[in-house]
Structure 1
Amino acid sequence: MTLSRRALRWSSALAVTATLWGAGPALADGTPGNTTPPPPPPHNDGGASGKEVYASTGRSQIQVTYLKGGKGGGKKGNLAPIDPNWEPPACWYEPIFTPEQLKDFVKDSGGDGPVNIHRFWYGEGLWTDHYRDGKATDNMDDGSAAPGYKDYNIGKKGYFWRSVAPDDSHPDSWDCGRTMFWQDAGEIPKVPEAPTPKTLAEYAYDKVKIPETDIELKPQAKSTVNLPTWVWLDKGTFKDVKVRAALPKTDLWAETTAKPKSLHLEPGTDDAETFPASGECAINDDGSIGTPYQKGDSKEEPPCGIKYLRATDGEPYQLKASVTWEISWQGSDNDGVHAMPDGTFETTQEMNVQEVQSINR
């Protein structure tokens, strides 16, 4: 999306919001003629299951399961996509209510709740008008008419679908402005931003937990000017991480897999050389990176390492080590394996460098 489109969307969104909150009848509390604007809705931070999800458009029902990796102790973090333009989906639709659940929700809550990400209805009036008595309303994404329903569709098999946005301030979340709508059981809506296996795969990408990069060094935490520091990771240190994301009430699922690909070193100073020169240490066939230091290797160039050319002066260098992970996914569409942008996870450790040209062996 271009900047101009986003700016236009923000302008339109502000105008729509002003209309919704200021018009009175559109968001009346059920009392005829009441034009007092209601208070703004609470921040969308509800739960992901049970009654809590009914009151939230900020929490997805998507269930995430770790099939491989991602468990156990130690520090972990999320991947940062190498492609700066890539980001997980801003919004999509999910099945929320059966007819009976919607009827009970209106009765139990008094009708206070969202019908999409940016539209919050107060009072039973509009809920009953649209979902019980068949009166049409409008959709915020394209301004089209949303036909009404009779008696909440009681007796029919299916769900009312509503939009979800992890961050409702994201400009693209306005793409999911359709008023909560009906879809027969076993079917995925044919609307823009409807969920797909790719949607779930990208959602799972954002949930992948990667172990902290704890590299082996020789010498450890202290190097010597003009003598190389060997860097390596033993095989098995980093294993594949596989995450499964499934959307309840549908057959949609996707599995996102992260595989370690390479280790990148940044010495923390320009007065240094890396081995190889690119600083990118490829993963070996056995899953290791680099080669462990052996006695007598002090003057050899390591396959993966650093040589500092100037000593530290009270302030250690900040050595950054980031592992690049290759990301792919496959899903319920049975359309094979697809690539996604590589991701990285970076850690920093202090390196002191001394002038004495000797090394502990």
Structure 2
Amino acid sequence: MTVVSLTVALLTPTPAIAFGGEDAYGGAEKNEISASASQSRIKVTQAAGPTGGKQGTVSSTDVNWEPPPCWYEPIFTPEQLKNFSENDGNGDVALRQGWIGSKLWTDHFKDEKDAPNYFGTPRTAKGYKNYNLGKDGYFWRGVSTNVSEVDDTSLCSRLMFWQDAGEIPDDPNAPTPKTLADYAYNKVKVPETEVALKPAAKSTVNLPTWVWLDKGTFQEVKVRADLPGTGLWAETTAKPVALHLEPGTKDAEVFPASGDCQINDDGSIGTPYTKGNADKTPPCGIRYLRATNGTPYQLSASVTWQITWQGSGGTGGNLPDGTFETTQDMNVQEIQSINR
């Protein structure tokens, strides 16, 4: 006698509740599924900008901005779904609903048996005949990079459903070029900010420290996101527009007073120090008013990146500015006179 074990697991913001026996899995975070709703098929490539050296992602200046919590994506062709259902059968059939056991998949997608939907609507999903083999299109399902953070359990919760080729689902959670632009926002890698200083080794109390970045140090960074099977794409571009300085102590003055050093027309920031300018006020710099006494100040240099996007269908617009910050040690000495 052959015993077939079938499992339905509900993926919720808390660890999943599972039904069906020993094969039940406890949550999407365990990565025990081969068709995971937490893995997007969006392909991201860097289209322009530097690729070497130390890099990091930008932080949005708008604390209320967030990318979409979830969206629908094409997951399987009929042939791929047939192979998965009959040779694997362990995966997510919806954003929060996992099926373990081939029979659950073959019953619904091959043998036309209806299936319950525990979160989305309709509450019962009509079955399919023989995986829709011979038809041109894809089976779609909800995707989220972090299912546990999708508080509204009704979002993106349809059971895997059919969509003809060349069509986007008529659903408020269907992907758009803006969805891809938002997704690419967190994939933009910008170079670390290491400013040139004069004096470089030690600053001196009451004498200005000149700060600058040579032209070519910062270039636009462009990231392209494509969603296969949809024709949707977006390019998200980050352009450096300003450098902000924080001296790391209240006992200091910054130039300009706002601490915001604008980027010059040639792409440089500030003005390089030249001999004879020791007592002049730099267009971008710092004057420390107290020595460090063994513990260096932490000079923070933060570059603001203006983020824009353009996408398929002539779409485009602006996204919140992003910032990327680095720090470096500043030792400050106190002497009565100095020649530079």
Which residue is 1:32 aligned to? none
User: Could you tell me how far 1:192 is from its partner in structure 2?
Assistant: 2.4
Q: For 2:219, which of 233, 236, 239 is the aligned residue?
A: 239
Summarize deviations over 1:126-161 as a string: whole Å, max 9, x none: 212221222223444444232221111111110001
Do structure 1's residue 294 and structure 2's residue 274 form an aligned pair? yes
Partner AA of 2:107 in structure 1: D
CA distance in structure 2 between the aligned counterparts of 1:270 and 1:310, rounded to whole angstroms: 9
Which residue is 1:354 aligned to? 333
Which residue is 2:290 aligned to? 310
Do structure 1's residue 344 and structure 2's residue 323 form an aligned pair? yes
Asked if 1 retains the 8 angstrom alpha-carbon contact of 2:226 and 2:234, the reply is yes
Partner AA of 1:107 in structure 2: E
Asked if 1 retains the 8 angstrom alpha-carbon contact of 2:120 and 2:156, the reply is no
**Further displaced range: 260-269 or 175-184:** 175-184
Partner AA of 2:294 in structure 1: G
Q: For 2:149, which of 160, 170, 174 is the aligned residue?
A: 170
**Further displaced range: 279-288 or 135-144:** 135-144
> CA 1:61–1:360 in structure 2 vs 1: closer, same or farther (change >3 Å)?
farther
Which residue is 2:47 aligned to? 67
User: Could you tell me how far 1:120 is from its partner in structure 2?
Assistant: 1.0
Q: For 1:99, which of 64, 78, 90 is the aligned residue?
A: 78
Summarize the alignment of residues 238-277 of structure 1 with structure 2, pairs less than 5 Å apart. Answer: 238-277=218-257
**Further displaced range: 81-90 or 289-298:** 81-90
Which residue is 1:84 aligned to? 63
User: Could you tell me how far 1:36 is from its partner in structure 2?
Assistant: 5.7
CA RMSD of aligned residues (A): 2.2
Q: For 2:37, which of 24, 46, 57 is the aligned residue?
A: 57
CA distance in structure 1 between the aligned counterparts of 2:139 and 2:318, rounded to whole angstroms: 33
Summarize deviations over 1:1-33 as a string: whole Å, max 9, x none: xxxxxxxxxxx9469954xx14x3xxxxxxxxx
CA distance in structure 2 between the aligned counterparts of 1:14 and 1:229, rounded to whole angstroms: 51
Which residue is 1:28 aligned to? none
> CA 1:173–1:323 in structure 2 vs 1: closer, same or farther (change >3 Å)?
farther
CA distance in structure 2 between the aligned counterparts of 1:221 and 1:45, rounded to whole angstroms: 50
Partner AA of 2:334 in structure 1: E
Q: For 2:103, which of 125, 129, 135 is the aligned residue?
A: 125
> CA 1:97–1:192 in structure 2 vs 1: closer, same or farther (change >3 Å)?
same
> CA 1:113–1:254 in structure 2 vs 1: closer, same or farther (change >3 Å)?
same
Secondary structure class of the residue paired with 2:147: coil
Aligned residue pairs total 328
User: Could you tell me how far 1:296 is from its partner in structure 2?
Assistant: 1.3
> CA 1:359–1:280 in structure 2 vs 1: closer, same or farther (change >3 Å)?
farther
> CA 1:353–1:99 in structure 2 vs 1: closer, same or farther (change >3 Å)?
same
What's the % identity of the aligned pairs?
62
> CA 1:228–1:188 in structure 2 vs 1: closer, same or farther (change >3 Å)?
same
Asked if 2 retains the 8 angstrom alpha-carbon contact of 1:117 and 1:165, the reply is yes
Which residue is 1:333 aligned to? 313
User: Could you tell me how far 1:289 is from its partner in structure 2?
Assistant: 0.7
Asked if 1 retains the 8 angstrom alpha-carbon contact of 2:23 and 2:100, the reply is no
Summarize deviations over 1:249-305 as a string: whole Å, max 9, x none: 120000000000000000000111110111011111111111111111111111111
Do structure 1's residue 144 and structure 2's residue 122 form an aligned pair? yes
CA distance in structure 1 between the aligned counterparts of 2:280 and 2:71, rounded to whole angstroms: 55
Partner AA of 2:202 in structure 1: K
CA distance in structure 2 between the aligned counterparts of 1:36 and 1:45, rounded to whole angstroms: 17
Summarize the alignment of residues 6-85 of structure 1 with structure 2, pairs less than 5 Å apart. Answer: 13=12, 17-18=16-17, 21-22=18-19, 24=20, 38-41=24-27, 43=29, 55-72=35-52, 74-85=53-64
Which residue is 2:6 aligned to? none
> CA 1:305–1:194 in structure 2 vs 1: closer, same or farther (change >3 Å)?
same
CA distance in structure 2 between the aligned counterparts of 1:143 and 1:253, rounded to whole angstroms: 28
Summarize deviations over 1:204-226 as a string: whole Å, max 9, x none: 11100000101010011411111
Which residue is 2:140 aligned to? 161
Asked if 1 retains the 8 angstrom alpha-carbon contact of 2:184 and 2:224, the reply is yes
Do structure 1's residue 190 and structure 2's residue 170 form an aligned pair? yes
Secondary structure class of the residue paired with 2:230: coil
> CA 1:307–1:248 in structure 2 vs 1: closer, same or farther (change >3 Å)?
same
Gaps of 5+ in 2: 1-10
> CA 1:173–1:313 in structure 2 vs 1: closer, same or farther (change >3 Å)?
farther
Asked if 2 retains the 8 angstrom alpha-carbon contact of 1:44 and 1:59, the reply is no
User: Could you tell me how far 1:118 is from its partner in structure 2?
Assistant: 1.8
Gaps of 5+ in 1: 1-11, 25-34, 47-51
CA distance in structure 1 between the aligned counterparts of 2:23 and 2:135, rounded to whole angstroms: 35
Do structure 1's residue 210 and structure 2's residue 190 form an aligned pair? yes
